[in-house]
Structure 1
């Protein structure tokens, strides 16, 4: 029976291809992954596919990323482990993750503090040392491309900072991954993978969990430095 190209590719080599963009499996080998595009089952001429539609689900779903248009910049999600138990629980799609958005050579993230101003801070992309000792870089996920210039991105960060204030940090509904989700949607209309923030939904069953988290998880080292600089700049000048 004659088979379509999709089925032939599947049988010849597709079975060995990984699915690094799958939200259900964050334990991947590649440090940079691409989100998969929805699989479209159109224009199949294969008799097997017609007789057995379930084989469509076995076809490789990964598409090559579209090249950026002139002036566009890549938007990348950098994900970090925050606790050693991730090595045992991440395979089940649940882990304690921190994330930041990398665009135009900077990485932006969000943390909590007790003051009524922005909790958004900037670090060198993928530099776990700027976050703190307990953070471990896990992987980068290519989200899409943005038309925003670097100056426009910084203005957007300022606007988002009004919503993501330090004193409004909440583990279940306003954490670092909620910020990266809102930021990515604003930049390129694409959301982050669902597994990155799944703990927020799980923790809704344990209301007191946020009070048990170490301060370093809520206020990373880079944010603490930002707070110190803000405190110095806002304090009145001492007469010389």
Structure 2
């Protein structure tokens, strides 16, 4: 869940769109609001087996300003948040299959604000703090959308977290690449390469 220790040094300016029966959608003018979308992916290799018992295993990312932000696990004490092109399942890896996009709300944070929020969230959603039950990709998505537009993600997207509390060994059974998607592995490789390169003297 989203830690109360995370603070955002930005004015809280998130909005949702209300709809009255018989009235038009209320949208403040001139494109001032940016849609906040949740992209959901099937981890279809296991869903073939678990769908019979009503349990879907899903990965999610939040799309805003034409960038999708998601979270995965790794062994290092820095952010596990990474970016991909929206709905690009190939960037995530072979075991991910795009399922659907859910419109969560609207935000009037600027693109620069969003990047600052992501950096701040990275302090909580570190790679080495990934946990299938209480700090997974869907927990990140929910924390992020709450900040952006005051709305959580649908509960069914994170049902595995509740189920895993009854099956504590489940996380150990999942392949490592499910916890560290391919796009995040690429990000880690770039970070490690930049750290290993000798600094150029001035």
Q: Taking structure 2 as the reference length, what is the TM-score of the superposition?
A: 0.82
Deviation at 1:144, TM superposition (A): 0.3
Secondary structure of the residue that 1:84 maps to in structure 2? helix
Deviation at 1:94, TM superposition (A): 2.4
Deviation at 1:118, TM superposition (A): 0.1
Give the 5 Å matches for 1:196-211.
196-211=157-172
Contact 1:68–1:145, Cα closer than 8 Å, also in 2: no
Larger Rg: 1
The reply on whether 1:121 has 2:97 as its aligned counterpart is: no
Contact 1:93–1:195, Cα closer than 8 Å, also in 2: no
Query: Which residue does 1:73 correspond to in 2?
Result: 34
2:137 to 173, 176, 181: 176
Unaligned runs of 5+ in 2: 1-17
2: CA distance, partners of 1:143 / 1:204: 27
Give the 5 Å matches for 1:1-240.
66-67=26-27, 69=29, 70-86=31-47, 89-90=50-51, 94-237=55-198
2: CA distance, partners of 1:141 / 1:65: 18
> Over residues 179-202 of structure 1, what are the superposed CA-to-partner deviations in whole Å (9 max), with x where a residue is unaligned?
000000000000100000011001
2: CA distance, partners of 1:99 / 1:198: 12
Contact 1:93–1:198, Cα closer than 8 Å, also in 2: no
Query: Which residue does 2:3 correspond to in 1?
Result: none
Q: Taking structure 1 as the reference length, what is the TM-score of the superposition?
A: 0.70
Deviation at 1:148, TM superposition (A): 0.8
- Seen in structure 2, the aligned counterparts of structure 1 residues 201 and 64 have a Cα distance that, compared at 3 Å, is farther
2: CA distance, partners of 1:200 / 1:105: 28
Q: Which has the higher contact order (CA 8 A, sep 6+)?
A: 2
2: CA distance, partners of 1:177 / 1:187: 15
Deviation at 1:83, TM superposition (A): 2.5
- Seen in structure 2, the aligned counterparts of structure 1 residues 123 and 65 have a Cα distance that, compared at 3 Å, is farther
- Count of residues in Structure 1 that have an aligned counterpart in Structure 2: 184
1: CA distance, partners of 2:195 / 2:116: 21
